[in-house]
Amino acid sequence: MGITSLVIGILSILGVCISLIPFLNVLNCVGLPLGLLGAILGIAALISKRGSKGVAIAGITLSSLAILVGAIRFVISLLTTGGII
């Protein structure tokens, strides 16, 4: 589960970073749920104590960063345009 969390964390951070490009901000709706899923899987990997703790921590870190940047992007989008897009 730790490796899955890391891969999902990388994909979510890529999705959120790509969503910063104008007209591609719809990917923010993909990056946020992926970040949440990656964080949940990383925490589950830490609790289960199977596999590497470092990989799980890296997955949690990337997923949390994606959630933070995506949430800030979402709030800015709501304040400036009145909607997601």
Show the tokens assigned to 8: 């999902």
Instruction: List average pLDDT for each run of 10 residues in the chain, which is 85 residues long.
Output: 90 84 74 90 89 89 91 82 63
| SS3 state of residue 84 | coil
pLDDT of residue 62: 93
pLDDT of residue 43: 92
CB 35 within 8 A of CB 66: yes
pLDDT of residue 59: 92
pLDDT of residue 41: 92
| Angle of helix 53-81 versus helix 28-48 axis, rounded to 10 | 150
DSSP class of residue 82?
Answer: S
